[in-house]
Structure 1
Amino acid sequence: MTASRRTPPAPAHTAEAPKRRLSPAQREEEIVRAAIGFFAEFGFEGQTRELARRLNVTQPLLYRYFPTKEALVERVYQEVFLRRWNPFWEETIRDTSRPLRERLVAFYTDYASVILTYEWVRLFMFAGLKGLDFNTRYLDLLRERIFPLIVAQIRDELGRPSIVEQPVSDLEIEAIWSLHAGIFYLGMRKYVYDLPVDDIAAVVAMKVRLFLDGARAVIGVAEPSGSAGSA
Structure 2
Amino acid sequence: MKPTAQRKQAQQTPAPEDAAPAARGKRLAPEEREQQIVEKAIKYFATHGFSGGTRELAKEIGVTQPLLYRYFPNKEALVDRVFQEVYLARWNPDWEDWLKDRSVPLKERMKRYYKDYARFILRNEWIRIFIFAGLTREGINQRYLTRLRERIFNVVLEELHHEYKLAPPTPSQHEDEIELVWGMHASIFYVGMRKWVYGLPVPKDLDHMVEQKVYAFLEGAPNVMRTMRSDPPA
TM-score, normalised with respect to structure 2: 0.83
Q: Tell me, which stretches of 5 or more residues in structure 1 are unaligned?
A: 1-17
Q: Paired residues, what number? A: 208
SS of corresponding position for 2:224: coil
**Deviation for aligned residue 1:225:** 4.2
**For the Cα contact (< 8 Å) 2:44–2:60, is it kept in 1?**
no
Distance in 1 between residues matched to 2:54 and 2:215, nearest whole Å? 45
1:30 maps to 36
User: Of 62, 66, 84, which residue of structure 2 is paired with 1:60?
Assistant: 66
User: Of 81, 89, 112, which residue of structure 1 is paired with 2:95?
Assistant: 89
1:222 aligns with 2:229: yes
2:177 maps to 172
Deviation string, structure 1 residues 151-191 (Cα, Å, up to 9, x no partner): 1111111122246xx55611110010110100000000000
Distance in 2 between residues matched to 1:132 and 1:61, nearest whole Å? 23
| Counterpart amino acid of residue 81 in structure 1 | Y
**For the Cα contact (< 8 Å) 1:34–1:51, is it kept in 2?**
no
Shifted more, 213-222 versus 28-37: the winner is: 213-222
Distance in 2 between residues matched to 1:40 and 1:94, nearest whole Å? 34
The structure with the greater share of residues assigned to helix is 2
TM-score, normalised with respect to structure 1: 0.84
Distance in 2 between residues matched to 1:123 and 1:143, nearest whole Å? 20
**For the Cα contact (< 8 Å) 1:151–1:219, is it kept in 2?**
no
Distance in 2 between residues matched to 1:128 and 1:135, nearest whole Å? 6
SS of corresponding position for 2:52: coil
Distance in 2 between residues matched to 1:179 and 1:223, nearest whole Å? 23
* Percentage of identical aligned residues: 51
**For the Cα contact (< 8 Å) 1:28–1:65, is it kept in 2?**
yes
Q: Tell me, which stretches of 5 or more residues in structure 2 are unaligned?
A: 1-23
Please provide the CA RMSD for this pair.
Answer: 1.7
1:41 maps to 47
Distance in 2 between residues matched to 1:108 and 1:85, nearest whole Å? 13
Distance in 1 between residues matched to 2:224 and 2:141, nearest whole Å? 26
